[in-house]
Amino acid sequence: MEFDSSTKFITRRETLRTAAALTGGVLAGRFRPYRLVQAAALGLPQKPPPGDRVAAVRAEFGATPIQAQALTDQITLLSGPG
């Protein structure tokens, strides 16, 4: 059986480190105090819905006029939002 010299094998140490990280993540997710997080989040200001931000940006872009700048007698540069 031939092995390619460019193949990297996973060592036992790397496997144990990965397993420990995954186990820690699972345990942290399982024992996270949901009620404490929810209680803290109630005092935070609520974000506006995304539709309102999109409408505000569209209104802002629509209010800005497009500017024309003559580069040569046949070429004009149009600049503005969007």
Is 77 domain-assigned? Answer: no
Is 50 domain-assigned? Answer: no
Residue 80 has pLDDT above 90, yes or no: no
Is 40 domain-assigned? Answer: yes
Provide the domain limits for residue 35.
Answer: 10-44
If pLDDT is split at 50, 70 and 90, which confidence band does 54 have?
Answer: confident
Is 1 domain-assigned? Answer: no
Q: CA separation (Å) from 29 to 16, 24, 40, 70?
A: 20, 8, 18, 60
CA atoms of 47 and 60, how far apart (whole Å): 20
pLDDT digits (tens, 9 = 90+) for 21-48: 888 877 776 776 666 666 666 666 666 6
For residue 16, the model assigns a pLDDT of 93
| Tokens representing residue 64 in the block | 């800005």
Total domains in the fold of the chain: 1
Note the Cα 80 to chain centre separation in Å: 27
| Tokens representing residue 13 in the block | 């140490």
β-bridge mates for residue 70, sequence order: 76
Is 20 domain-assigned? Answer: yes
pTM > 0.85: no
